[in-house]
């Protein structure tokens, strides 16, 4: 379903969120205080505007209150990011996601009602570290400080064994959410489903258990 998004702040993060949402077929209003940034997104957004995200009147004139989702991607100016997020929540925008620079910024955004706080550099840094740490890990999603989902190549030792043979949940406390074979993905696999050497496994669990699982297998 087509949705309406507004993105305020068109640095590297804001630009890539805006153009990806637009590519996915959504309506995107892209806003930045700098005309040169707005020029970069003209062809990859439905509407674009030069405006100050801390100027309530300007935001109202752009019809921001008609948007269900607004992403505040002002990273370099903490004061503007906070003021903009506060204004949007006061104007009644249902879902405001804001990019935080650091833990203090996160705390303030949380206090003023941001619905989701994003740390792209931290998240990407974590993902890259996971890739570097293990050549088996294909992708990694952090769910909380403790829990993650990893996409991992099935090791040779699992070849032609069923999930029940492998007894992974009991041995490691992690759960196989899905098995990818070529282009097919088997979600919620059954106990008697077989794992083959070239499969990719989606595994959820506590970080310590996932680490043990990666190291042992
Ligand atoms: P990134 O790290 O994603 O590249 P930056 O912090 O470099 O992010 O970029 C933030 C963007 O937000 C810049 O393009 C800047 O012009 C824009 N910006 C800063 N303050 C405001 C504001 N008050 N209103 C709208 N855009 C702003």
CA angle, residues 100, 102, 105, in degrees to nearest 5:
60
Looking at residue 126, its pLDDT comes to 78
CATH of the domain at 201: 3.30.70.1450
- Mutate which of 30, 53, 72, 76 for ligand 1 pocket (most atoms within 8 A of beta carbon): 76
Looking at residue 60, its pLDDT comes to 97
Do residues 18 and 114 share a domain? Answer: yes
End residue of a domain, out of 102, 118, 134: 118
Residue position matching structure tokens 């008609």? 66
Do residues 143 and 197 share a domain? Answer: yes
Do residues 10 and 92 share a domain? Answer: yes
Looking at residue 137, its pLDDT comes to 79
What residue numbers bound the domain in which 32 lies?
4-118
- Mutate which of 45, 75, 98, 101 for ligand 1 pocket (most atoms within 8 A of beta carbon): 75
Do residues 21 and 41 share a domain? Answer: yes
The domain tally of the chain equals 2
- Taking the chain (217 residues) in runs of 10, the rounded mean pLDDT of each run is 94 96 96 97 96 98 96 93 97 96 94 94 80 75 86 90 92 94 91 92 93 84
Do residues 173 and 198 share a domain? Answer: yes
Angstrom distance (rounded) from CA 27 to CA 7 = 11
Do residues 51 and 155 share a domain? Answer: no
Ligand 1 contact, 12 CB (< 6 A): yes
Q: How far is the CA of 22 from the centre of ligand 1 (A)?
A: 19
End residue of a domain, out of 90, 118, 146: 118
CATH of the domain at 114: 3.40.50.720
- Write the residue with the smallest CA distance to atom 15 of ligand 1: 9
DSSP secondary structure string, the chain?
A: ---EEEEE--SHHHHHHHHHHHHTT-EEEEEES-HHHHHHHGGGSSEEEE--TT-HHHHHHTTGGG-SEEEE---S-HHHHHHHHHHHHHTT-SEEEEE-SSHHHHHHHHHTT-SEEE-HHHHHHHHHHHHHH-SSEEEEEE-SSSEEEEEEEPPGGGTTEEHHHHTHHHHHS-EEEEEEETTEEEES--TT-EE-TT-EEEEEEEHHHHHHHHHH-
Ligand 1 contact, 105 CB (< 6 A): no
User: Which pTM does this prediction carry?
Assistant: 0.76
User: Tokens for 134?
Assistant: 């293990």
- Mutate which of 6, 7, 8, 9 for ligand 1 pocket (most atoms within 8 A of beta carbon): 9
End residue of a domain, out of 118, 134, 166: 118
């Amino acid at each position: 379903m087509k949705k309406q998004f507004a993105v305020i702040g068109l640095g590297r993060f804001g630009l890539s969120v805006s153009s990806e949402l637009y590519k996915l077929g959504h309506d995107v209003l892209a806003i930045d205080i700098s005309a040169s940034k707005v020029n970069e997104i003209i062809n990859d957004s439905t509407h674009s505007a030069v405006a100050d995200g801390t100027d309530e009147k300007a935001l109202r004139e752009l019809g921001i209150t008609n948007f269900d989702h607004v992403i505040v991607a002002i990273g370099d100016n903490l004061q503007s990011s906070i003021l903009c997020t506060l204004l949007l929540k006061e104007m009644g925008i249902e879902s405001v996601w804001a990019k935080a620079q650091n833990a203090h910024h996160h705390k303030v955004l949380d206090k003023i009602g941001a619905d989701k706080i994003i740390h792209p550099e931290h998240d990407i840094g974590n993902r890259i570290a996971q890739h570097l740490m293990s050549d088996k890990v294909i992708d990694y999603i952090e769910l909380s400080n403790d829990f993650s989902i990893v996409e991992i190549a099935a090791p040779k030792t699992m070849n032609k064994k069923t999930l029940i043979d492998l007894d992974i949940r009991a041995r490691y406390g992690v759960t196989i959410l899905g098995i990818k074979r070529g282009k097919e993905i088997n979600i919620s696999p059954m106990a008697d489903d077989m794992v083959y050497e070239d499969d990719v496994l989606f595994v959820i669990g506590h970080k310590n258990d996932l680490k043990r699982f990666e190291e042992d297998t």
